[in-house]
Amino acid sequence: MTRKIKATDLPDFDMAEHLKTDEDVANYLTLVLEENDPAELTHALGTIARARGMTEVARASGLTREALYKALRPTSHPRFDTISRVCTALGVKLVAQPVQT
């Protein structure tokens, strides 16, 4: 007999717990960028920053911790300069590729 499990009994999924290596981070960002959704990119950068430690990412990006949280919250629209600084602090770069039609 199969035991039924309630969805509410399942643990919450947190992507930050699965971003262990630089390759994990790069693969995750690549998938997010393919979606072409600026809000999802902001969310992904926030998730990666949590995985790496917000304080350390803030320090490396030259932002205050509070400013980093504010820039990467789901409803924010960070400037490209901020995204670039966060990417540099995370050790990744955004790369342009031709669109396949």
Q: Is residue 69 in some structural domain?
A: yes
Q: How far is residue 93's CA from residue 87's CA, in Å, rounded to a whole number?
A: 6
| Residue 9 belongs to a domain | no
- On whether residue 3 sits in a domain, the answer given is no
Question: Residue 91: which residues within 8 A CB-CB, separation 6 or more?
Answer: 22, 25
Residue 33: inside a domain: yes
pLDDT in tens, 34-92: 999 999 999 999 999 999 999 999 999 999 999 999 999 988 999 999 999 999 999 99
How close are the terminal C-alpha atoms of the chain, in Å? 49
CA-derived radius of gyration, the chain: 16
**CA–CA gap between residue 74 and residue 21 (Å, rounded):** 24
Task: Classify residue 57: in a domain, yes or no.
Answer: yes
Residue-number span of the structural domain to which 75 is assigned:
20-90
Is a pLDDT exceeding 80 seen at residue 101?
no
Q: What pLDDT is recorded for position 9?
A: 83
Instruction: Provide the domain count of the chain.
Output: 1
Going from the C-alpha of 50 to that of each of 7, 84, 90, the distances in angstroms are 25, 17, 11
Reply yes or no on whether the pLDDT at 96 is more than 90: no
